[in-house]
Amino acid sequence: MDDFFESTDAVRNANPLSYAREFFYSSPFKLERGGNLSEIRVVYETYGELNERRDNAVLVCHAISGDSHVASHDDADNAGWWEIMVGSGKPIDTDKYFVICPNFLGGCRGTTGPDSINPATDRRYGLDFPEITIGDIVEVDCLLIDSLGIKRLLAVIGGSLGGVVTLEWATRFPDRVISAIPLATAAHMTSQALAFDIVARNAIQSDPNYFCGRYFERGVVPASGLAIARMLGHITYLSREAMMKKFDPTRNQARKIDTSFETKFSVGSYLAYQGGKFVERFDANSYVVLTTAIDNFDLGSTAPELRKSLKPSMCRWLILSFTTDWLFPSFLSREIVDALLAMDKRVSYCDIPSECGHDGFLLPDEFEIYGEMIRSFLANVSFELSSGSAPQVERPDRIDHEQILDLIPRGAKVLDLGCGKGGLLARLRQCGACRVQGIEIKEKYVLRCIERGLDVVQADLNAGLSAFSDHQFDFVVLSKTLQTVSDVEFVLDEMLRVGVRGIVSFPNLGFLEHRRRLMEEGRAPKLELETSREWYNTSDVRFLTLADFEDFCNKKGINVHHCIAIDTKQKKQIDQNPNENADLVILVISK
């Protein structure tokens, strides 16, 4: 088969279940919405070895059409749906971790679902299968974890539906989850995403072969309804950019496939093909049951609701979204991040720049960045767990950082705005600050911070700090960043709202060498002394002297508690006439 029809479709490489194991729960199981199941079967696969302390287990949660076969077990085995992520030497390293991947309750890949035989009737459940919730899925998987003798999971990880399940684990069983990594997911669906699921279910349920879910008894399947649902799904998993790349160059070149659907246009034949393939391997009732469960999942859409739902969680978080994901758009991940930040939970976040849309977390395109983030995060969580301390010893490397360190007492809570590679935060952690959180816009720096075991959230300072409450931090630091900020007043306002004290450092245009350059040479001063940047390519967009900043503080009612002036070339602190003699100034301020 032609490359053209490739997709992230889990079952393209599906396992004939040769490595699958089965967990059987023979007691009646009460469901959240009132129904119950008299017995439950869970099909799952495992990789690697559980260590003696039983604290290296990673639970991998699949997406809607996924299954237990997350990766191959050996060279002869078929590839799994997350082959890039799970395996020896891979980010979820099976040499280190014991990986468990169950098929979900309600699915159709071995675990009890609507196509299973109902022991009460000896017929398939069909639409008699009771309504289930994401909570039920997690409860069932927890029985499995119990059966494996595991008290705490080192990590729960998953994307899309798997991300929702991860969120549920972290809040339902907070003391059993050490870290949570939800990818491309949300605490609630947008109305747009809901709408697509609704149309998909309408297509299935109005297929005349649906027979109110009893199609098995008639020996038919609602093939066109399910295929149409899957076509819709495929559109939402891809970004517009990805579709353009894949289909635009051959727009009118339909492929020949055996189908009753329209095959006009290349994208038409692709959709017809994917719709047809899905019908061969997925059960329509499972599709209805699982999409309804995710649609009903709702940790809240307002900040207070979200905080309430996420409050019980005790894990460290790594949350990743993908910029072109429009089914679970990035702002929904940010809402979760913001709620966690507001409650001082330990969270790192990155919006991975990607053209791949919702499927981004399954694809190799941006793996170099998101794969490494997951690898480092897991490694650090594992290290902290075993050693009880932060992973690295950091050495002093910037004079202004060391000065800032001196200003911050042990035990302080510190937020670093524009934290870069995390140098200051790492030093602060080492010197005894009780909680350090970074905000940084460049994803490469975010990765570096995660590698260092720091908590860092990717965000644009210019958008404000609305996640944080008033005076949430003892100190908020804006180190050599003020001069790059476009909305200075807003950023400083936010900083002084969130921090009891603010620490600002910036290059001082009043430095005599700068003055001389303009006065005598008639050239614009170059503030970035260390670099070769010129007026036309510097990232500095604000030019101010220490005196300008003091005027500003006066005008805005900002208190200046402390001012440290430095001549960075001579590496000395300046006492006399700092507006002339210092090229870098550090101020402690408050409002």
Task: Evaluate whether 9 touches 277 at the Cβ level (below 8 Å).
Answer: yes
CB of 275 to its own copies, least distance (A): 8
Q: How far apart are CA 234 and CA 270, in angstroms?
A: 10
Q: Give the other-Cβ count within 10 Å of 175's Cβ.
A: 10
- Angle of the 399-407 helix axis to the 423-430 helix axis, nearest 10: 40
**Paired tokens of 127:** 């639409």
* Radius of gyration from C-alpha coordinates of the chain: 28
The one catalytic residue in 197, 325, 416, 583 is 325
E strands, 201-346, are 316-322
Task: Evaluate whether 347 touches 337 at the Cβ level (below 8 Å).
Answer: yes
Which residues partner with 476 through β-bridges?
415, 502
- Angle of the 266-281 helix axis to the 223-237 helix axis, nearest 10: 120
Q: How far apart are CA 72 and CA 135, in angstroms?
A: 29
**Paired tokens of 51:** 């260590």
Q: Which three-class secondary structure state does DSSP give residue 130?
A: coil
**Paired tokens of 558:** 């900002």
Name the residue nearer to its own copies (CB basis): 360 or 422: 360
Report the run of H or E that residue 495 belongs to, with start and end: helix 488-498
**Alpha-helix residue ranges (DSSP H) falling in 148-190:** 161-172
Q: Which three-class secondary structure state does DSSP give residue 380?
A: helix
Q: How far apart are CA 418 and CA 485, in angstroms?
A: 10
The secondary structure of residue 353, as a DSSP letter, is -
- In one-letter notation, the amino acid at residue 55 is D
Which residues partner with 421 through β-bridges?
none
Q: Which three-class secondary structure state does DSSP give residue 249?
A: helix
Q: How far apart are CA 483 and CA 538, in angstroms?
A: 10
Is 471 catalytic? The answer is no
C-alpha dist (Å) from residue 37 to 68, 120, 314 = 21, 10, 31
CB of 248 to its own copies, least distance (A): 6
Name the residue nearer to its own copies (CB basis): 17 or 232: 232
Name the residue nearer to its own copies (CB basis): 441 or 547: 547
Name the residue nearer to its own copies (CB basis): 463 or 519: 519
Q: How far apart are CA 168 and CA 153, in angstroms?
A: 14
CB of 18 to its own copies, least distance (A): 36
Name the residue nearer to its own copies (CB basis): 174 or 300: 300
Q: How far apart are CA 99 and CA 154, in angstroms?
A: 10
The secondary structure of residue 458, as a DSSP letter, is E
Name the residue nearer to its own copies (CB basis): 53 or 264: 264
Name the residue nearer to its own copies (CB basis): 26 or 206: 206
Sign of CA dihedral 406, 407, 409, 411: negative
Q: How far apart are CA 272 and CA 256, in angstroms?
A: 10
Which residues partner with 227 through β-bridges?
none
Name the residue nearer to its own copies (CB basis): 356 or 379: 356
The one catalytic residue in 69, 188, 234, 358 is 358
Q: Give the other-Cβ count within 10 Å of 534's Cβ.
A: 10
Name the residue nearer to its own copies (CB basis): 380 or 579: 579
Q: How far apart are CA 47 and CA 86, in angstroms?
A: 9
Please tell me the number of Cα atoms within 13 Å of 314 on its side-chain side: 10
The one catalytic residue in 65, 116, 160, 239 is 160
Name the residue nearer to its own copies (CB basis): 213 or 510: 510
CB of 319 to its own copies, least distance (A): 20
Is 3 catalytic? The answer is no
Number of helices (H), then strands (E), in the chain: 18, 22
Is 358 catalytic? The answer is yes
CB of 512 to its own copies, least distance (A): 9
CB of 261 to its own copies, least distance (A): 5
Placement of tokens 């990743």 in the chain: 320
Residues marked as catalytic: 160, 325, 358
